[in-house]
Structure 1
Amino acid sequence: MIKHPAVIALVTAALLTVGCSSNDDKLAQSSEQVTYNLAQKYLRSSNWSAAIEALEVMEENFPFGSYAEQAQLELIYAYFRGNEYDAAIASADRFVRLHPQHRNVDYAFYMRGIAAFHNDTAFYSMLPTDITQRDAGTAKDSFDYFAQLIDRYPDSPYALDAQKRMIYLRNMLARYEIHVANYYFKRSAYLAAANRGRYVVENFEGTPAVPDGLAVMAQAYQMLGMDDYSKSAEKVLVKNFPNHPALKDGKFDYRFDRDDNRTWVDYVTLGLFKRRPTINFDTREIYNPFYNEDLDPQPPG
């Protein structure tokens, strides 16, 4: 539904021109030009809602016009800048499906990845929330979309930026696994914690979360009584990350980050209400801090 008066006036005039001169191709092209120029005006002024409305009118009334494909690409961008991420993804999917051989189809792949990542960040960015503690679903979708772009169009001008974003997303996905492992420690689910740590070590090699993945394994296997596995993880941690805070004098400190002090309440209640010791591995400030770079996509060329 069109809401902006200027959009209503100019687009209506354009469509009336088409209606009154259905046999005149030049007039029809002129009407398309008027609508497209209006959309460009709103894009340049960052009036995303008005731009979306004008571009949607173009898509509906001039699906085979001279500016149709370019307008569809610009609609993806306008949806994204207007924080309509689901619409941007759907529009990008539609463009890929309808124009698989288009010279700029790589842009649709690129924007689909960006929109998927931002799909739930707008709300969380306003809260004091660690992005790595959120559900990793959209990050995985975004990673897969960027991987498709690089696989199909390795020479795309968007490939390098997509690679940087994939590194960012891979770091975030690895760190998410460590957060889950820390949660399992709190629930005394030590085998589940060990599995998360091992998953990071085996699947996210080179990420800043690997040292904590090894520490999780050493701690969790020790608590499970699986000393051989614990010592093996400790050995790798000592060799590759000797400055990890869980290491003390070259050995793993199994009491790391745990408070064993008992209060008078613990004595009176015989420890019935004693809080479980916290086990939390998070060394992002030591091993390549997890960054949150401001990545701003550009409109289609």
Structure 2
Amino acid sequence: MVKNAARITGVCLLMMAPAAILAGCQSDPDIDITKLAAETDPPETLYNQGLANIKAGHMTEAARKFDAVDAEHPFSDWSRKSLVMSTFVKYRSGRNGDAVNTGMRYMKLYPRSEDSAYVQYLIGLAYWKQIVDVTQDQSYSQKTIDAMQNVVDNYPDSQYVDDAQAKIRFARDQLAGKEMQVGRYYLERKEYLAAISRFRKVVEDYSNTNQIEEALARLVEAYYAMGVVQEAQTAAAVLGHNYPDSKWYADSYKLLKSGGVEPRENAGSWISRAGKKLVLGSS
């Protein structure tokens, strides 16, 4: 078998030009330059090659070098550092799913290392980059919140906390926006109970987002259309108390006045209870 393989290889070399040799013989499983390089180069060399590739803007090649360190020298200090850099370059090159996977591997192995706050932050950024508009699925908004909350909770003194909190606020706005988008869909089709459930979720769970004013106004609209005037009045009263200059309050007030009533709070309503929390949350 060895002799046959040698004879076939010899025929390739004799009959083909150099360029053709590369095209015709590179599939030989015994010739894998990438693997040989990874096995023969020491981890420090591979790591420094990765840094050089970052400097040159070759992010894909940089990630390959750092991944080679982790693959060939796992659990070493060079592997730990390479996982950090691999997570970074994958995020920077838009390979967000790969960045999350590499970052999660790092966090599993080194949750309390000097770079763990940074890697957890990178995971959050990779999720954040995948958030889409509110007409689409918002699973990455929730993943962003979870990842960035880990930064806030587990690394409260890190330099990444402020931006992590900003990303959480953005993602919560997205989740609230999705609820509003679905709620408006039901409202337009006069499916009032389904619409109210969506607007209620915004009021109760996302009261500190930029969707709260419209959510209260839509509750006025939906309850009034159903003939549940007292709840409509309460929603308008809470809206006016917290956002008296809002255009949404002006619209709600006008709607109620068209029916001969005014905003008036019913203390026994769920909206009133939520409104009290809203006041506390905004103080």
TM over 0.5: yes
8 A Cα contact 1:32 1:65, kept in partner: no
Question: What is aligned with 1:16?
Answer: 40
- Identify which range, 74-83 or 210-219, moves more after superposition: 74-83
2:97 — aligned with what?
86
In the alignment, what sits opposite 2:174?
Answer: 172
SS in 2 for 1:154: coil
* Structure 2: gaps spanning 5 or more residues: 1-31, 259-283
State how 1:148-297 maps to structure 2 within 5 Å: 148-248=150-250, 251-253=253-255
Partner AA of 2:120 in structure 1: F
- Comparing both structures, which one devotes a greater share of its residues to helix? 2
Q: Is the 8 A contact 1:238 1:250 kept in 2?
A: no
Deviation at 1:120, TM superposition (A): 5.1
TM normalised by structure 1 equals 0.69
- CA-to-aligned-CA distance 1:239-266 (integer Å, 9 cap, x gap): 322333345588242799xxxxxxxxxx
Name the structure 2 match of 1:113.
124
* Secondary structure, aligned partner of 2:134: helix
Q: Per-residue displacement from partner, 1:130-149 (whole Å, max 9, x unpaired)?
A: x2332221101110111122
Fraction of identical pairs, as percent? 25
| Letter in structure 2 aligned against 1:60 | A
Q: Which has the larger radius of gyration?
A: 2
Partner letter of residue 57 of structure 1?
Answer: A
SS for the counterpart of 1:135 is coil
Matches of 2:102 and 2:45 in 1, distance apart?
A: 23
Query: Structure 1's 40 and 192: CA in aligned 2 closer, same or farther, altered over 3 A?
Result: same
Matched, 1:98 2:109: yes
Distance in 1 of aligned mates of 2:221 and 2:125: 37
TM-fit CA distance, 1:14: 6.3
SS at match of 2:247: coil
1:105 positional shift = 1.1
Q: Structure 2-normalised TM-score?
A: 0.73
Kindly indicate whether the alpha-carbon contact (under 8 Å) linking 2:213 and 2:246 is maintained by their aligned counterparts in 1. yes
* Cα 1:229/1:65, change in 2 over 3 Å: same
Greater relative contact order, per chain length (Cα 8 Å cut-off, separation 6+): 1
Q: CA deviation at 1:151?
A: 0.9
The separation in 2 between residues aligned to 1:156 and 1:135, in whole angstroms, is 31
Q: Secondary structure at the match of 1:133?
A: coil
Give runs of aligned pairs for residues 16-55 of structure 1, distance below 5 A: 16=40, 31-55=42-66
> C-alpha distance in 2, partners of 1:119/1:195?
27
- For residues 252 and 61 of structure 2, the distance between their equivalents in structure 1, rounded to whole angstroms, comes to 63
Distance in 1 (CA, whole Å) between partners of 2:65 and 2:119 is 20
- Runs of 5+ in structure 1 lacking a partner? 1-7, 18-30, 122-130, 257-301
Q: How many residues are treated as equivalent by the alignment?
A: 227
Distance in 2, matches of 1:250 and 1:183, equals: 19
